[in-house]
Amino acid sequence: MCDPIYISFIGEKAVGKSSIIATYESGNFNPDLYATESVETHIINATSAGTLTVYIHDMAGETREATVIALCATCNVIVLVYDKTYRQSFGKIDDFHKIIIQHIDSEKVVVVLLGNKKDETHKEEVNTDEGYNKHKYLKTDFFIETSAKTRHNINDLFRKIEEEVKNKRELQSDMNFFQKDEQENLIDLQIQTYICPCTCKCICPSRPCLFSCRCCVCTLL
């Protein structure tokens, strides 16, 4: 059984955050979906991994900074969403990124930059190159463009999120193992090279060197 994944979708109002989630859950686009008013939580059990539970926090565009910070602190994934047909939403990405980056551990948390409404090419205000360059500038883990309406890249988004979370968890596990191993080796080294505080300054196998350890001649005096 895999550990659950907690995801927060953050972005301006009406960029399509709820539509992305709803399309992934149901497999269908709902044009009459209402706007999120605060924070909604969706629990998805059926993913490509089969055993993964995903908790998704869908934040309203006007969600207060304190709420964003509180939710981000508990998440494995932050998805920064903008609308390709609305340049102002793209400009707000920097503000959202500035908020979250101060409150997450980038070695543990996956940050995604997502441009939605890929299908509306006739209204496009933010092209793919601009989105990719923003991803490189902010150093997000990956960049993707989606369309909730046509389901373009919706499944790929969540598949790649799963892969990135798995990779970060494995890397973190390896780092913890090596850190523990290094600490144990350091303790062994300290014990082996501990200098006896007695006048002879010999290498003492006992730590600390007590007069009862008999490590050198001077303890017999």
Segment 53-66, tens digit of pLDDT: 677 776 656 667 77
Q: CA dihedral defined by 19, 25, 31, 33, rounded to 10 degrees?
A: -70
Give the whole-number percent of the chain exceeding pLDDT 70. Answer: 67
Identify which of 80, 37, 42 has the alpha carbon closest to the alpha carbon of residue 62: 37
- Residue in the structure block whose two tokens are 């207060």: 64
Domains of the chain, residue spans: 5-172, 174-220
Identify which of 59, 78, 80, 56 has the alpha carbon closest to the alpha carbon of residue 4: 56
Residues 6 or more apart in contact with residue 41 via CB below 8 angstroms: 55, 56, 57, 58
Segment 105-164, tens digit of pLDDT: 888 999 999 999 999 999 999 999 999 999 999 999 999 999 999 999 999 999 999 899
Q: Which CATH architecture has domain 5-172?
A: 3-Layer(aba) Sandwich (3.40)
Are 96 and 10 in contact by the 8 Å Cβ rule? The answer is yes
Q: Which helix (H) or strand (E) holds 94?
A: helix 93-101
pLDDT at 35: 64
Going across the sheet that includes 54-59, the strands are 39-44, 54-59, 5-11, 77-83, 110-116, 142-145
62 secondary structure, DSSP code: T
Q: Model pTM?
A: 0.73
Beta strands in the chain (DSSP E): 5-11, 39-44, 54-59, 77-83, 110-116, 142-145
| Amino acid identity at 200 | C
Confidence of residue 42 (pLDDT cuts 50, 70, 90): confident
